[in-house]
A and B are shown apart, each in its own frame.
Chain A
Amino acid sequence: MNRFAWATPRTISEAAAAATTLVADAMSSDPTGPGVVTVLKAGGIDLLDLMKETLLMPATLVNLQQIPGLDSIHPGEGGALHLGSMVTLATLASHPLVRQRYPALADAVSRSASPQIRNVATLGGNLLQRPRCWYFRAKEHHCLRKGGDHCFAIPGENQYHAIFDNSPCAIVHPSTAATVLVALNATVELIDAKGTVRRPLLVDFFGPPDQDIMRENNLKPHEILTAVLLPAVPASVRMAHLKQGEKDSIDWPLADVAVLLDLTPDKMCKSATVILGAAAPVPHRAEAAEAALIGKHIDEDIARQAGRAALNGATPLSHNAYKLPLFETLVHRAILAAAG
């Protein structure tokens, strides 16, 4: 790890002014050179990983932890919930309003990483962490996503990679929370040094490789992610999230699924949202699965049909076709879990 300076701004605009470079840009510009750039640090879990692998050698870290107000969870307008970007995963997972109104989110977050990591890692950092592709994470592989000229995973070891939209880069989005947040139609709030605010939908904030192969989102230099806004969910909406890792202790999902169902009292599905995590470079909407549910009474058969439909359009790689039956199962089980 390189030597670096430490800055502790007290306001969003100070932090934004200091944040000259996106981590993605810093990693691709000169992966081996000595630090010249300034990057933002939240919990530092992902940042430190990158620095220890010398994939990232920043000159200055701008610590966001001393800015007041970024770590609160409070009700917003019209039944929405405001989640500060610096809220830790541990706080988020245990917050009564989150558990009560968005139990699928509490589930996703409480199953991410480890207790030690959740105590430090933040919601903002979780959404902005870089992908875990093992070629991407090793310095020796100068792959497409780091500005190189080919992908090592597609012809190589791709067991943990994407089964949808996996060319030319087959990463899966690393955030488990994002699977649920996209399903919930969350918005992110971004503020720049001049105080300009933008509030894109999270799904639009994220970008697939064909849009930008070196960045997973359209965060701009000098922008701070300040909050995630969750719209109110009607009382008739039920939700569930399921994650399956190879291990249950401290492991990434092989697959995770978020399901939101708007049900009539006799379990007729008025609308459905099915999002797959660890399936594609961005959280993947399983439209065919949603279509299979709408207008149907949710039962075992329908849930199984939707599970199969969720695989529509999958293009598994040499070592990850096992994810198909796995997703099929998780979608089916998540639908039944949501329907209750």
Chain B
Amino acid sequence: MTKLADETLRTEIFPYGIASVGLSQVKRQVPLDEPPPLPPNDDLLFIGKPVPRQNGRAMVTGEIHYTADINLPGMLYGRILRSPLPHAEIQAIDISAAEHHPGVRSVIILSPPGDPQTAVLRYVGAPVAAVAAVSMAAAEEALALIRVSYKPLPFVIDMDEARKPIAPLVFDAASAPGGHPAGAPSALPLNGNVRGPSTVSRGEVVQGFAQADVIVEAEYRTQVQTHCCMEPHGLVADWRADGLTVYISTQFTAGVRHELAEAFELPLSRVRVVVDGMGGGFGSKSMLGNYGRIAVGLSRKAQAPVRIVLTRQEEQMDAGNRPATWQHLRIGAKHDGSLTAISLVSYGTAGVGLGAGVGNVAEALYTCPNFESAQNDVFTDAGPGSAMRGPGNTPGAFGMEQAIDELAERLALDPVALRDRIDPSPRRREERRIGAEKIGWQHRHVPGADAGPIKRGIGMAQSIWASNVQINSACEVRVLRDGSVQVLSSVQDIGTGVGTVLAQVVAEVFGLHPEDVVIRIGDTDFPSGPPSHGSRTTASITPPARTAAWRVLQLLLADAAVALNAPVDVLVARDGRIQVRDNPAKSMSFRDVAAGLRTDSISAVATRSDDYPGFRHKSGDAAQAQQDLGGVQFAQVVVDTETGIVRVERVVAVQDCGRPLNPRLIESQVQGGVLMGVSYALFENRIIDQNTGRMVNPNLEEYKVVGIREAPQIDVTVLENYQGNSATDAYGIAEPANIATAPAIANAVYNAIGIRLRSLPMTPSAVLAALGKVPQGNMTS
């Protein structure tokens, strides 16, 4: 350890690079109170090992408690009355009959008439009023007693219609949400129903296209996908005189606490947010939600705990969705493949919400000196969108990665070879190499080569996603006098197994087993953890966990040094003992050291420090590491050209997430991402009737989600990518695992049939139409 001029930092040497390519070293300056570098995974006991999920058994045996399982004494059941019309003004609302229902304890009006800010409803399913009653049946009965008179207003569902100047207006300037497709707060211009454009540009695009030898240009469309969490959105709100406790299925306990404190004017110290088991969120459970505010409002009024759990129909209509998009892409390139210009125009609709952009795939995936984009949000009278696994980049990759394949064909280059030329990422280069080998890329035939109606094809596509970090992330590690260990943070496990990963990291520090580490998470009474969105949980919370454990260990080592009469810097924790590094005989058990504590427990709280080489970007609590996350997927499909049925037989997913902490859990997330991508590519579609504004498939029967028979064989490889960035050097995996799947499938379909499917989902109807087999026009008239 060299002391630097800055007395708070020291210099350390970290392993660096991609393990399968060859590791080098990098020097980093590390805060003095952070642990020394971890060696590569091969030299570790628990980190990087497929440790089984700690609560896996409890999950599959039904022992875990989900929010819907919570039953507090005196708890009431909340239900929400929702708009049957896509655009209407409430002229009168009468709740008196509902209030007189014997089972009802509170009724609240959510859209009071009189004020246009509250009285206008803009999608079927918008909340109108809510009741809390002693039983679900009573709540349902009470809803039916609420009398509302609606004045129907003109509405628009279809995005293309909504863009027309004559379209009915969803919002006027005063009522429209501001914002930015990429999430920045500044308000963009509003023209009719179009908010935008939000623009990015670099270089000289006109010149770039003039220099191009080849230009490809096409339009792509993606549909609305709903999150379909196995566990619906829900909470139990318990309003008491001394504070509010909310048990909620959430991706962000600490964030929900902030929202509650602000909405209900309570000090943070009097708001507690708790989550135990969670059945999925995928971006839709990052915020409190209207249903959350409603439950708290009902609880406050009724002076009793209130549970609201959405029905599947409510889930489909008003619990967020992945916005639909339309993208126009133009790409110019030289004969050698080098890109000269990219231009992107997009329109997307998140219904009454914002955030329907197509991300930064076109902007950032490939080297191209000249770039311009204009992304627009279009308001329609449909339920608001929300973030969903790889928001923006998932639809964006569907367009861009097909366009790149099309370019490769025009240039007579292999799609992998073209990417080798224009993709600067060494991670994706290695991922392409591994994936191509596994899928058998060299045996790939020319498009449409199979004889007969059943055609097979192979395709690939790439992902780009920021390495996100939440710097507002803290973790406490405690060692108790009996030698047991606890890890405490408000971070929540949304199903990824972050608790297990924390146990691995802390066990590695103490020389204990992961099973010996007790994980207490999902409760804002513990130090504030990060959200589980933006693939940032592991990157944000494991470094402070390791740092906190390391600081506690220093205290224990100091005690042990006295007891063993050895200098502290030769002591190590290993196999449940504290020992002199080169003399295992001179040791004492971890327990015995703990038994000597002056107090029942000692603890340390650590926070997420900045990445050692600094962040690329930092704003508020959020930051992004220097390197992006990659990810390359290969798909093998079979297309029946006479029925239009597409099946994905195999997906090879090669991903990276910094230092992989638990390959088993990572694999399970990648499988989930791929399945979600297959489902997006082939099946899912929110269908709204244009004449009534109602969703016709608000269930899981006609809203089609991939089933077991449509699940491909999924082959997952994860790079070890060391960057020397933090105490664990780990980043996320959830979103990158989803982004490349649909375009890989689309490129494989092209390889099978020689025809591009530029819109999603690729149903038999779409495939047969693309093949020119569907008679045109309405034959009834």
Provide the residues of chain B in CB contact with A166, threshold 8 Å: 780
Known: A140-B692, A156-B689, A326-B643. A319 touches B707 (CB 8 A): no
Binding site secondary structure of chain A: loop
Write the nearest CB–CB distance from A315 to chain B, whole angstroms: 5
Q: Would you give the 0/1 interface string for B687-706, flagging 1 where the beta carbon is closer than 8 Å to chain A?
A: 10111101011000010101
Cα(A314)–Cα(B780), bound, Å: 9
Write the nearest CB–CB distance from B689 to chain A, whole angstroms: 5
Identify the closest chain A residue to B645 (Cβ): A244
Identify the closest chain B residue to A254 (Cβ): B764
Identify the closest chain B residue to A159 (Cβ): B765
Cα(A167)–Cα(B644), bound, Å: 27
Known: A248-B710, A325-B774. A134 touches B696 (CB 8 A): yes
Contact yes or no, A134 B697, CB < 8 A: yes
Cα(A316)–Cα(B707), bound, Å: 29
Known: A152-B689, A316-B779. A140 touches B768 (CB 8 A): no
Contact yes or no, A249 B710, CB < 8 A: yes
Contact yes or no, A325 B642, CB < 8 A: yes
Identify the closest chain A residue to B84 (Cβ): A140
Q: Would you give the 0/1 interface string for A317-331, flagging 1 where the beta carbon is closer than 8 Å to chain B?
A: 111111011101110
Provide the residues of chain B in CB contact with A315, threshold 8 Å: 779-780
Contact yes or no, A138 B779, CB < 8 A: no
Provide the residues of chain A in CB contact with B691, threshold 8 Å: 152, 155-156
Known: A140-B692, A249-B708. A326 touches B644 (CB 8 A): yes
CB contact between B702 and one of A134, A156, A316, A319 (< 8 Å): that residue: A134
Identify the closest chain A residue to B773 (Cβ): A325
CB contact between A325 and one of B84, B137, B768, B778 (< 8 Å): that residue: B768
Provide the residues of chain B in CB contact with A254, threshold 8 Å: 764
Write the nearest CB–CB distance from A4 to chain B, whole angstroms: 12
Binding site secondary structure of chain B: loop
Provide the residues of chain A in CB contact with B643, threshold 8 Å: 244, 326, 329-330
Q: Would you give the 0/1 interface string for B66-88, flagging 1 where the beta carbon is closer than 8 Å to chain A?
A: 00000000000000000010000
Provide the residues of chain A in CB contact with B58, threshold 8 Å: none
Known: A157-B696, A244-B643, A254-B764. A322 touches B769 (CB 8 A): yes
CB contact between A247 and one of B683, B687, B765, B773 (< 8 Å): that residue: B683
Contact yes or no, B780 A138, CB < 8 A: no
Identify the closest chain A residue to B85 (Cβ): A140
Q: How many residues of chain B have a CB within 8 Å of chain A?
A: 34
CB contact between B709 and one of A159, A248, A325 (< 8 Å): that residue: A248
Provide the residues of chain B in CB contact with A329, threshold 8 Å: 642-643
Provide the residues of chain B in CB contact with A322, threshold 8 Å: 644, 764-765, 768-769, 773-774
Provide the residues of chain B in CB contact with A248, threshold 8 Å: 707, 709-710
B185 contacts partner chain A, Cβ-Cβ < 8 Å: no
Known: A134-B696, A316-B780. A247 touches B704 (CB 8 A): yes
Cβ < 8 Å to A, chain B residues 697-752 = 697, 702, 704, 706-710
Cα(A247)–Cα(B765), bound, Å: 13
Contact yes or no, B642 A152, CB < 8 A: no
Provide the residues of chain A in CB contact with B62, threshold 8 Å: none
B22 contacts partner chain A, Cβ-Cβ < 8 Å: no
Contact yes or no, B764 A140, CB < 8 A: no
A141 contacts partner chain B, Cβ-Cβ < 8 Å: yes
A51 contacts partner chain B, Cβ-Cβ < 8 Å: no
A140, A318, A322, A333 — most chain B CB neighbours (10 Å): A322
Contact yes or no, A321 B779, CB < 8 A: yes
Cα(A254)–Cα(B769), bound, Å: 15
Contact yes or no, B690 A156, CB < 8 A: yes
Cα(A3)–Cα(B140), bound, Å: 12
Q: Would you give the 0/1 interface string for A211-249, flagging 1 where the beta carbon is closer than 8 Å to chain B?
A: 000000000000000000000000000000000101111
Cα(A314)–Cα(B687), bound, Å: 25
Cα(A328)–Cα(B643), bound, Å: 9
Contact yes or no, A246 B764, CB < 8 A: yes
Identify the closest chain A residue to B691 (Cβ): A156
Cα(A121)–Cα(B763), bound, Å: 29
Provide the residues of chain B in CB contact with A250, threshold 8 Å: 707
Cβ < 8 Å to A, chain B residues 637-655 = 642-645
Write the nearest CB–CB distance from A239 to chain B, whole angstroms: 21
Write the nearest CB–CB distance from B703 to chain A, whole angstroms: 10
Cα(A325)–Cα(B779), bound, Å: 14
Identify the closest chain B residue to A330 (Cβ): B643
Q: Would you give the 0/1 interface string for B642-673, flagging 1 where the beta carbon is closer than 8 Å to chain A?
A: 11110000000000000000000000000000
CB contact between B707 and one of A244, A249, A324 (< 8 Å): that residue: A249
Contact yes or no, A247 B709, CB < 8 A: yes
Provide the residues of chain B in CB contact with A328, threshold 8 Å: 642
Cα(A329)–Cα(B710), bound, Å: 21
Interface residues of B (CB under 8 A from A): 84, 137, 642-645, 683, 687, 689-692, 694, 696-697, 702, 704, 706-710, 763-765, 768-769, 773-776, 778-780
28 contacts between A and B (CB under 8 A): A134-B696, A134-B702, A138-B694, A138-B696, A141-B692, A152-B691, A156-B689, A156-B690, A244-B643, A247-B683, A247-B704, A247-B706, A247-B709, A249-B710, A250-B707, A254-B764, A315-B779, A316-B775, A316-B779, A317-B778, A317-B780, A321-B774, A321-B779, A322-B644, A322-B768, A322-B773, A326-B644, A333-B642
Task: Identify 4 new A-B residue pairs, CB closer than 8 A, beyond the known A316-B775, A324-B774.
Answer: A157-B696, A166-B780, A249-B709, A251-B704
- 10 closest A-B pairs by CB: A249-B707, A322-B765, A329-B642, A248-B709, A249-B709, A325-B773, A134-B696, A322-B768, A156-B689, A322-B774
